[in-house]
A and B are shown apart, each in its own frame.
Chain A
Amino acid sequence: MTPVSEVRPPLIEVRDLHFQYEDGTQALDGVNFTLYPGETVALLGANGSGKTTFVLQLNGVLRGQGSITVCGLPLNKETLPRIRSKIGMVFQDSDEQLFMPSVLDDVAFGPLNQGVPEEEAIAKAKLALRQAGLADVWNKAPYHLSAGEKRRVALAGVLAMEPEILILDEPTTFLDPPAERNLLQLLADLPQAKLIVTHNVRLAASLASRAVFFEKGKLVATGSVDEIARRFEWTYADLPPADLRYSAHRRF
Chain B
Amino acid sequence: MHHVLLDRWSQGASPLHRRDARAKILALLVFLVVLATTPPNAVAVLATYAALLAAAILIAQLPLGLLMTRAMVVLPFSLTFALISWLAGEPLRALALVEKSYLSTVAVLLLAGVTPLPLLLGGLERLGSPQLLVLVAQFLYRYLFVLSEQAQHMRLAAACRNGGAGHRRASRFRSATGALAVLFARSYERAEGIHRAMLARGFSGRFSLLHAQRFRAGDGAFLLLVSAFLILVRLG
Q: B92 → chain A, closest Cβ, in Å?
A: 42
Q: What total of chain A residues lie within 8 Å of the partner, measured CB to CB?
A: 35
| B residues 186-218 touching A (CB-CB < 8 Å) | 190, 193-194, 196-204, 208-211
Residues of B within 8 A of A59 (CB): 199-200
> Is A122 in contact with chain B by the CB < 8 A criterion?
yes
Contact with A along B34-73 (1 / 0, CB 8 A): 0000000000000000000000000000000000000000
Question: What does the 1/0 interface line of A98-119 toward B look like (CB < 8 Å)?
Answer: 0111101100111011100010
> How far apart are the CA atoms of A167 and B198 in the complex, in Å?
15
Contact partner of B198 (CB less than 8 A), chosen from A85, A99, A104, is: A99
Q: Is A21 an interface residue (CB 8 A)?
A: no
B13 within 8 A of A: no
CA distance in complex: A152, B209 (Å): 21
Is the CB–CB distance between B138 and A101 below 8 Å? yes
Instruction: Say whether A157 contacts B209, CB under 8 Å.
Output: no
Number of CB contacts from chain A to chain B under 8 A: 83
Do residues B142 and A100 form an inter-chain contact, with CB atoms below 8 A?
A: yes
| Known contacts A101-B118, A113-B202; is-contact A143 B197 (Cβ 8 Å) | no
Is B99 an interface position by the 8 A CB rule?
no
Contact B121 A101 (CB under 8 A): yes
* Any B CB within 8 A of the CB of A161: yes
Which secondary structure characterizes the binding site on chain B? helix
Within 8 Å of chain A (Cβ to Cβ): is B146? yes
Instruction: Flag if A113 contacts B210 (CB, 8 Å).
Output: no
Total B residues in contact with A, Cβ cutoff 8 Å: 29
Given A59-B199, A101-B118, 8 new contacts (CB under 8 A): A56-B196, A59-B200, A61-B200, A99-B198, A101-B121, A113-B202, A143-B4, A161-B201
Q: Per-residue CB proximity of A129-142 to B under 8 Å, as 1/0?
A: 00000000000011
Inter-chain contact A99/B194, CB cutoff 8 Å? yes
CA of A229 to CA of B211, assembled, Å: 49
Residues of chain B lying within 8 A (CB to CB) of residue A100: 118, 138, 142, 209
Query: Do the beta carbons of A113 and B142 come within 8 Å of each other?
Result: no
The docked-state distance in angstroms from the alpha carbon of A105 to that of B202 is 15
| CB-based contact A118/B210 at 8 Å | yes
A122: B residues at CB distance < 8 A: 210
